């Protein structure tokens, strides 16, 4: 097997190693490159959101409630609770006749460093709309309202909302529901465990935009990189560095996925020990290795996001004492 990994160095010595399982798939769903164990079954976490949001387009939910591409992008997001993110969440809830009290997600500290500092300094009381998943939850409430399903319990397995989402996930991963393991995500919603290969295959479908509805999801994400994550975070920064050329979507416990529309390529990776600091450098390393096989505009610009690709480790005085960097590489199946 190939041995893509992220190493944490303290001085000249490797202190920690985070092994990566990854798959790169093409528009036909064919696996073209791997690292680690491509058959590894793990929870997709928030990287599943584009497929959880797809019924909003397919079922006419967005159009019925007059919600635009920004609402669709936020339904796919793991946002940083910035004012823009909260405003779109509030607008989604108002459009469907719901309130924050209807959100099943609980609050947590903002994922964005600046907003987290501001919230702590101002002593703001956090409520469910501050959850990074509030857009996803508002979208699920909208799906329930559209079909006349109960809004209570929309987040749990067996609710029609979750059954409808499962149908979208099985379609785009190519897996039957019987092969998808269910759990409960941190935001209270059903989450899905499946092979990394299936995740990459689904993201290749997102990249290619095989249906009009999937193209709408793809294009909404491409149009609103600031909604997908937030200031200073890898997904948003990468999408700004390659405007219109890449979708990046993080998930908890070391999941990171990406879609490259110009090449019809999907990427999925899992940091096997769940270390979140390793997933961004791993994704950037895969994009770097893939560059010779990608159209010019779809290649990560030289030097872009260098601070993420090789992330400094600093002591409490701010002095650089080590770094986090990629080692090893992908194995191309046509090599």
Distances (CA, A) of 279 to 21, 274, 326: 11, 9, 10
pLDDT value at residue 188: 96
pTM, two decimal places: 0.94
CA pair distance 225, 218, nearest whole angstrom: 11
In the three-class reduction of DSSP (H, G, I as helix; E, B as strand; rest coil), residue 226 is classed as helix
Q: What span, in angstroms and rounded, lies between the C-alpha atoms of 328 and 310? A: 14
- CA–CA distance, 109 with 86 (Å, rounded to integer): 14
Looking at domain 5-332, which of 3.30.1300, 1.20.1250, 1.20.120, 3.40.710 is its CATH number?
3.40.710
Spell out the per-residue pLDDT of the chain, length 335, in tens: 458 999 999 999 999 999 999 999 999 999 999 999 999 999 999 999 999 999 999 999 999 999 999 999 999 999 999 999 999 999 999 999 999 999 999 999 989 889 999 989 999 999 999 999 999 999 999 999 999 999 999 999 999 999 999 999 999 999 999 999 999 999 999 999 999 999 999 999 999 999 999 999 999 999 999 999 999 999 999 999 999 999 999 999 999 999 999 999 999 999 999 999 999 999 999 999 999 999 888 888 877 777 677 888 999 999 999 999 999 999 999 86
Q: Which residue in the block uniquely carries the two structure tokens 């159009």?
A: 63
Q: Can you tell me the distance from the alpha carbon of 135 to that of 79, in angstroms, rounded to the nearest whole number?
A: 8
CA distances 95 to 62, 68, 81, 103, 313, Å, are 10, 11, 20, 14, 45
Q: What is the 3-state secondary structure (H, E, C) of 36-83?
A: CCCCCEEECHHHHHHHHHHHHHHCCHHHHHCCCHHHHHHHCCCCCCCH
State residue 1's pLDDT score.
Answer: 45
Backbone angles phi, psi at 328, to 5 degrees: 75, -170
What is the sign of the dihedral through the CA atoms of 70, 75, 78 and 83?
positive
The residue whose two tokens read 């996803």 is 136
100: which DSSP letter? Answer: G
Return d(Cα 139, Cα 163) in angstroms, integer.
Answer: 15
Q: Which two tokens stand for residue 93?
A: 């809830």
Sign of CA dihedral 305, 308, 310, 311: positive
Question: How far is Cα 51 from Cα 130, in angstroms, rounded to an integer?
Answer: 22
Among residues 202, 151, 160, the alpha carbon closest in space to that of 180 is found at 202
Contact indicator for 261, 218 with CB cutoff of 8 Å: yes
Provide Rg for the chain, Cα atoms: 19
Task: Tell me the two tokens of residue 57.
Answer: 């387009």
Tokens matching residue 171: 């379609």
């Amino acid at each position: 097997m190939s041995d893509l990994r992220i190493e944490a160095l303290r001085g000249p010595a490797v202190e920690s190693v985070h092994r990566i399982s990854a798959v790169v798939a093409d528009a036909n769903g064919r696996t073209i490159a791997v690292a680690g164990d491509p058959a590894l079954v793990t929870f997709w976490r928030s990287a599943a959101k584009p497929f959880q949001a797809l019924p909003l387009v397919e079922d006419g939910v967005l159009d019925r409630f007059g919600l635009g591409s920004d609402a669709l992008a936020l339904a796919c997001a793991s946002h940083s609770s910035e004012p823009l993110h909260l405003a779109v969440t509030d607008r989604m809830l108002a459009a469907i006749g719901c309130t924050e009290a209807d959100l099943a997600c609980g609050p947590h500290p903002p994922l964005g460093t600046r907003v987290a500092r501001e919230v702590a300094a101002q002593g703001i009381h956090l409520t469910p709309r501050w959850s990074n998943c509030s857009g996803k939850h508002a979208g699920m409430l909208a799906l329930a309202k559209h079909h006349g399903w109960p809004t209570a319990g929309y987040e749990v397995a067996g609710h029609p909302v979750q059954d409808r989402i499962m149908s979208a996930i099985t379609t785009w991963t190519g897996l039957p529901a019987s092969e998808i393991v269910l759990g409960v995500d941190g935001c209270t919603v059903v989450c899905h465990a499946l092979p990394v290969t299936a995740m990459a295959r689904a993201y290749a479908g997102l990249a290619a935009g095989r249906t009009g509805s999937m193209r709408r999801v793809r294009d909404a994400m491409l149009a609103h990189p600031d909604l997908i994550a937030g200031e200073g975070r890898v997904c948003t920064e990468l999408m700004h560095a390659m405007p219109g050329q890449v979708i990046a979507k993080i998930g908890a416990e070391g999941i990171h996925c990406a879609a490259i529309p110009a090449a019809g390529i999907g990427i999925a990776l899992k940091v096997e020990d769940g270390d979140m600091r390793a997933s961004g450098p791993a994704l950037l390393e895969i994009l770097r290795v893939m560059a010779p096989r990608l159209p010019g505009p779809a290649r990560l610009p030289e030097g872009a996001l260098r601070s993420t690709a090789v992330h400094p480790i600093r002591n409490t005085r701010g002095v650089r004492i080590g770094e986090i960097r990629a080692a090893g590489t992908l194995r191309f199946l046509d090599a």
